[in-house]
Structure 1
Amino acid sequence: MATIGIVDTTFARFDMGSAAIDEVKRHVSVKIRRVTVPGIKDLPVAAKRLIEDSKDPCDLIIALGMPGKMEKDKMCANQASMGLIQAQLMTNTHIIEVFVHEDEAKDEKELAFLMEQRSREHAVNAVKLLFKPESLIREAGTGQRQGFEDVGPARM
């Protein structure tokens, strides 16, 4: 049985991990391991630990977080993203980064909606990566957006 790791943060203003878990369970029967860390810069090591656990390694990780709206938060998000990429390369395992920047939304209601939708849509992407990779090929170039409305392909 495949295992999906969910790594989320206490800094986020919405329980992104629970939304992702709920969505994964709607699509497949897998083992889920969840770890919650304080902030986004803690995500890479938590994800790597779940992948490298000798007793119960994860086949894929969904890393969820919410960078704040300040410039220093954007820098921290970039550092966390680079750490997640490095962890992927070190382990040859997909880590789907699901970040929602606090300033992406016009108000708190839209922020909560975006955090839930992006978490759920990327959970579906995780299922596709593990179990239906051919479905991603069919979606290539279609302008998919997680959280907001898809933009569609560019037309000539």
Structure 2
Amino acid sequence: MRVGIADTTFSRVNMGAIAVDELRKHASVAIERVTVPGIKDLPVACKKLIEERRCDIVMALGMPGGKDKDKICAHEASTGLIQCQLMTNTHIIEVFVHEDEAKDDRELAWLMEQRTREHAVNAVKLVLHPKDLERQAGTGQRQGFEDAGPARR
């Protein structure tokens, strides 16, 4: 299995290094990594990882800022990542942590690491162990903060 990692210099934590570390804990995989300036650069980076470097799955890692214009840029990047998935028939795990999701820098750094690690595990499961994800269907899994749990009837 070949996993692509696309991360950004705009991020305030090295999410790419965290993803690589976590992937190596869970599977013997080849890793292709590329770093781009910002989140709107991620769709083409992911497409190149899939088409040119033959990745089976890609993680797109980024940290949009907390301002309204940053949220618009994150939406545009997300739309581009969805389009890339459809064009390549390959999963791209979007791992965005918005700067305003945390109350301070310490919590932000923790959230960025936790969400990245949990999604790295999801990437391995999606390609190598899809039944593990099927068993978690409807359980309210969240990456980063506490799981929501299933809704009660």
Same fold per TM (> 0.5)? Answer: yes
Q: CA deviation at 1:49?
A: 0.5
Q: 1:101 aligns with which of 98, 102, 112?
A: 98
Q: CA deviation at 1:105?
A: 0.1
Residue 80 of structure 2 is aligned to residue 83 of structure 1: yes
Tell me the distance in 1 between the aligned counterparts of 2:67 and 2:10: 14
1:71 matched residue in structure 2: 68
Query: Percent of pairs identical after alignment?
Result: 71
Q: CA RMSD in A?
A: 0.5
1:32 matched residue in structure 2: 31
Tell me the distance in 2 between the aligned counterparts of 1:116 and 1:72: 24
Tell me the distance in 2 between the aligned counterparts of 1:18 and 1:149: 23
Where 1:97 maps in the other structure, the secondary structure is: strand
Moved over 4 A (4+): none
Tell me the distance in 1 between the aligned counterparts of 2:14 and 2:115: 12
Gap regions ≥5 residues in structure 1: none
Equivalent residue runs for 1:114-125 within 5 Å = 114-125=111-122
Q: Which amino acid aligns with 2:6?
A: V
Q: 2:152 aligns with which of 147, 152, 155?
A: 155
Q: CA deviation at 1:151?
A: 1.2
Tell me the distance in 2 between the aligned counterparts of 1:115 and 1:50: 22
Deviation string for 1:34-82 (max 9, x for gaps)? Answer: 00000000000000001001xx410000000000001000000000000
2:4 matched residue in structure 1: 5
Tell me the distance in 2 between the aligned counterparts of 1:125 and 1:62: 10
Q: 1:139 aligns with which of 136, 139, 142?
A: 136
Where 2:124 maps in the other structure, the secondary structure is: helix
Q: Which amino acid aligns with 1:84?
A: L
Q: 2:58 aligns with which of 50, 58, 61?
A: 61
Could you state the TM-score of these two structures normalised by the residue count of structure 2?
0.99
Q: CA deviation at 1:5?
A: 0.2
Q: CA deviation at 1:86?
A: 0.2
Tell me the distance in 1 between the aligned counterparts of 2:131 and 2:68: 39
Residue 20 of structure 2 is aligned to residue 21 of structure 1: yes
Gap regions ≥5 residues in structure 2: none
Q: Number of paired residues?
A: 153
